[in-house]
Amino acid sequence: MALHMWLTVVMTALLTVLPGGAGTASTAGGAGSAGGAGTAGAGCAGAGPDARCWPVAGPGVRGRPAVLRAFEPPATPYAAGHRGVDLRAGPGSVVRAAAPGEVTFAGKVAGTDVVVLRLDRPDASLRVTYEPVRGTVAVGTRLAAGEPLGVVTGSPVHCSPGCLHWGLLRGDVYLDPLTLLPPWLLRAGPSRLLPVFGAGRVSR
């Protein structure tokens, strides 16, 4: 846990000073385009600039992955906490853009593979982080929600047997990445109609 906290602090500092478009990347997956419709199907909602997707596919309703650990904001910037959400995903799992944006970093931070996606917003202040993820698109690639950007590596630093640590930052402040998704996509099961208690019978 201490190692992961140290890694988070190092990554936050690095991302704060990196200009947009900096970093290194693998180009094995080729380039994408943010203007497209993205990868339609389970785990996604909406279309175009408002589209949102789970970053990894899971067995749940609407492609919902298992959430192994929720966001736990630290009391202070360097205090203990959980600066993101852990989603169950084994090594080799395809990782997708959660929203339209541009890949601004893909490389190693303190020995861990990290990909950063700057979201398409007027203020350009929101960045999504994915680790441990080896990038499969070049830095500068623009992606639509749902398009692949990398694969989960076998790094055992964070959780076992494997997961995606998914983060969201505004500047250098971590936010809950689940707030990117619409409520109905977050639900673990289908909506249910509950009985109405106290309703009187209609006499005939």
Distance CA 1, CA 157 (A): 9
- Closest residue by Cα to residue 7 from 114, 92, 98, 88: 114
Distance CA 146, CA 52 (A): 7
Res 9 pLDDT > 50: no
Res 3 pLDDT > 70: no
pTM: 0.72
Distance CA 195, CA 197 (A): 6
Res 23 pLDDT > 80: no
Domain boundaries, the chain: 2-182
Query: Out of 1.10.3210.10, 2.70.70.10, 3.90.1150.10, 2.60.40.1260, which CATH number does the structure's domain 2-182 have?
Result: 2.70.70.10
> Which pLDDT score, from 0 to 100, does residue 110 have?
86
Over residues 178-191, mean pLDDT: 78
Residue type at position 43: G
Q: Are 71 and 84 in contact (CB under 8 A)?
A: yes
pLDDT in tens, 120-173: 977 668 999 999 999 999 999 999 999 999 999 976 566 767 899 999 999 888
Grade residue 201 by pLDDT with cuts at 50, 70 and 90.
Answer: very low
Grade residue 14 by pLDDT with cuts at 50, 70 and 90.
Answer: very low
pLDDT in tens, 54-92: 999 988 877 889 888 888 877 666 666 577 899 999 999
Strands (E), 19-170: 44-45, 52-53, 67-69, 85-88, 94-96, 101-109, 112-119, 126-131, 133-135, 142-143, 148-152, 163-170
